[in-house]
Structure formats: structure tokens, C-alpha cells
Amino acid sequence: MKKILLIATGGTIASSESEGGLTPSIDVKRLLAYIPDIKSVCQLDGISVMNVDSTNMNPSLMAAIAQAVADNYESYDGFVVAHGTDTMAYSAAAMTYMLKNLAKPVVFTGSQIPIEALYTDAKKNLSDAIRFACEIKLGRITYNQVLDYSGHLQQLSRPVSGEFAIDTRLCPDILILKIFPGIRPDIFDFIKNTYRGVIFESFGIGGIPNEQNDIVAKIHELIDAGVAVVITTQCIYEGIDL
């Protein structure tokens, strides 16, 4: 039977009603008490590393989550992180950089409704995440077909080479800026002197103003100043073609 560690960080899944609305307050022991049947699937332990609303997540807290995985890496076969939904994708992405040569599953999950609520989705989400960390679903995991797109499923199947290591260094001097009609060029002078990298959300497949407000010229100034520039699109589909 595999050993799985549940790492609790707060979020809606671990919240209770308070005078100020939902507040993270449930520790990992109480979370586990709501899914007693999972004991038949794996040997499950839990730790609480923080209890924050995920709107307050930041790089140093992400590093604490990664460190919790690293500190327990040799003792467990997989890890589940109970996390708030607002910034879950950011933390999960950070783990892919912080946890080097990862050969064990680290699964993030959360919920739209607290685990104590009547119609909560938390119990199923938590149980499913633990089962996924065990790679058990009638003896196997069924991957969504979308993973075949762009070779993602193939990437998951590649053997891991090298020893596991942790590197929690993240550069916080990054800005995400949505291009909008009438955006003023002078904001780019501030960016050039303040940030080391900027991600621009352009129009359509890469449209950026280049006449009255010549944003294209300002982007070239950033590049010449050594700022890392990434350009993407505000649109959900089709990608970008500058």
C-alpha cells in the first residue's frame, strides 16, 4: 500500500464561516476526518504548513510548500496539496520549477465550497486527488485525451533522470500587462527601471499599437535595456503569430 502525504495550506477547502466571511481555519487532521474511506486506498498522513486564503499566496509561501515536499520526499510515494483555487495554478506552476527531477506525483486540489458545507465538492476532490497520487482507478489512471495535444502525455511518460533536488529561488520582479486601447507609452519607462521581466497580453494573434501610441517602439526599448519580454495573447484560443 502506497504512502501519501496530504499538505494543507488553507484555501476555501479548509475554510469556515466567520464574521468576515469564509476564513481558512481547518487543519489537516479535520480535513482527513471527512474522508475516512480513503484509508482503504493508501496509508495517508497529513501536515499543515500554512492556513491562508490563496489570494494571499506569494513566492515565499510557495517555497514553503515545495520545501514540505522536499523534506518528506524520501518517506512518501506521492503528495497532495490542498490549496485555494484563486492562485492554485500559480503555485502548481512554481512547483514544476522548484522541484527538480521530480519522480513522484505532486497533486494540487481545492474546492469551490468548504469541506464542512452541506453540498461541498471538497470531499470528492480530495479523495480523487489522493487516488490520483496513488495512480489508482480500478488499478490504473485514465488520462484525459487533451493531454495527447502537443505531446503532453508523452512528456508525462518520459523517465526521470537525475537526482531529486529543490531550488526555491523565484524572481518576483515580473509584471503581467494587458495591452488596451489608449495605453500610454510612459508606463514602459517605469517598467524598464523597475522590472526584470514583463509578459504582454496582446490583441488577437499578437497585435500591438505602433502609431500614435507606439508601444512596439517601447517594447524594443525594454529589450535593449535587458528586460526579458514575453508576448502572448488575451484570446483563449488560436495562439500568437507576431
The pLDDT, as a whole number, for residue 140 is 55
H or E element in which residue 29 lies: helix 28-33
Q: Which pLDDT does position 126 carry in this prediction? A: 96
pLDDT at 157: 67
Active site residue 12: yes
Going from the first residue of the chain to its last (242 residues), give the mean pLDDT of each consecutive group of 10, the final group possibly shorter. Answer: 96 88 89 92 95 95 98 97 97 96 94 94 95 72 64 69 93 95 94 96 94 94 97 90 86
Q: Report helix, strand or coil for 48.
A: strand
At residue 148, the pLDDT reads 65
Residue type, 87: T
Q: How many CB atoms lie within 10 A of CB 12?
A: 24
The single-letter DSSP state of residue 64 is: H
Q: What pLDDT is stored for residue 139 in this prediction?
A: 47
Distance between CA 195 and CA 75 in Å, rounded? 40
Residue from 12, 87, 109, 120 carrying the catalytic annotation: 12
Residue 42: the pLDDT is 93
CB burial of residue 45 (10 Å; 0-12, 13-18, 19+): middle
Distance of CA 67 to the CA centre of its chain: 15
pLDDT tens sequence across 74-103: 999 999 999 999 999 999 999 999 999 999
Cell of 33: 476526518
